[in-house]
Amino acid sequence: MIFLLIVCTLLAVIFAGGYYAYHTAFFSSGRARDDRHSDRDNGSLGSEVGQWIRQLRDRPCEPVSIRSFDGLELFGRYYPLHDGAPLFIGFHGYHSSSFVDFSGGSQLIDQLGCNLLLVDQRAHGKSGGHTITFGIKERWDVVEWVHYALERFGPETKIILMGVSMGAATVLMASDLDLPDNVRGIIADCPYSSPKAIIRKVAKQRGIPDGLAWPFVKIGAKVYGGFDIDETDAARAVKAAQTPILILHGEADGFVPCEMSDLTAENPARVTRHTFPNADHGLSFLTDSNRYRQLVTEFVCNVLLERNKHSENR
């Protein structure tokens, strides 16, 4: 009886800890992701960014939606510029939104002459679901959005995938999947190397022993979230990527350490990386917009031209 009591107590602690870890790291309620939260950074990031956010929120768009591989309705906003132009598909970060993460980048995409599709990641905004999986399931949503774009805009549509923070890790995790040749390039702004790395870093930052917390995180993800947090990561995916990748990261990033995105050695033939001195998390564009614009513009022009050359040689 004592043995059974001990076992039951241990199991109760394990599952209670897993439940707490799930709700802390992965759960997203409907109230917590109301679109109004997108205004939260208007003051902290300065009046210029606040103006960019309001401009993007007020910009006319077409609401669109798709069905995920596991049955969720995913929501997006389409901003057309020119028929037949290349399409950027943008993926925002953890507990954020496209209004915040692409408030400045959307202007750059317009200047590149591209159409823009900004999506609400699962368990964010108007998309369905209550579990954020740090890119594990979201990477398959990337594939579904690409298929949607090709079905709607035609099989010749050129696509650039772009993500910020968790969105950046998401598009990198999708880089080793069966993406069509239409995906000409991937741009990742301040990605983490793996869900494990960023979760353990945040736990340690909050005074929680990361080695002790991690088993409960794994249990919470598996039991209550229905996914394996160690299934893949950006570093592993990039090794097998065939699509050109541009990584951008602020050297003063206080949330995702800059060294987490140092993935060039994983696939030097495909990955190019640039860092921005004094730039905090997701603020490289704001810190040095001229250099940011130049790097993105050169990358996009090069990958579109390079793929066109390959097509002609065939």
Q: Write the CATH number for 239.
A: 3.40.50.1820
- pLDDT higher than 60, residue 45: no
d(CA 257, CA 218) in angstroms, rounded, equals: 22
For 110-158, how does the pLDDT look when each residue is reduced to its tens digit (9 = 90+)? 999 999 999 999 999 999 999 999 999 999 999 999 999 999 999 999 9
Q: Which amino acid is at 239?
A: K
What is the pLDDT, as a whole number, of residue 36? 45
d(CA 70, CA 84): 31
Pairing of strands 183-189, 159-164: parallel
pLDDT at residue 31, rounded to an integer: 59
Whether residue 25 lies inside any domain: the answer is no
The pLDDT of residue 9 is 78
Q: Would you say residue 309 has pLDDT above 50?
A: no
Task: Read off the pLDDT of each residue in 226-253 and give the average, rounded to a whole number.
Answer: 97
Model pLDDT, residue 7: 73
- Examine residue 171 and state whether it is found in any structural domain, yes or no: yes
Residue 156 maps to a domain: yes
For the chain, what is the mean pLDDT? 91
Answer whether residue 110 is part of any domain: yes
* Neighbour count for residue 151 (Cβ, 10 Å): 11
106, part of any domain: yes
In a domain? residue 21: no
Q: Is residue 68 part of a domain?
A: yes
**Percentage of the chain exceeding pLDDT 70:** 92
Domain carrying residue 92: 45-208+230-313
pLDDT at 12: 82
pLDDT computed for residue 15 by the predictor: 84
38: pLDDT strictly greater than 90 = no
Overall domain count for the chain: 1
CA angle 58, 124, 297 (to 5 degrees): 60
Residue 34 has pLDDT above 60, yes or no: no
Q: Is residue 93 part of a domain?
A: yes
In the β-sheet with 159-164, what is the strand arrangement from edge to edge? Answer: 62-67, 73-79, 115-119, 87-91, 159-164, 183-189, 245-250, 271-276
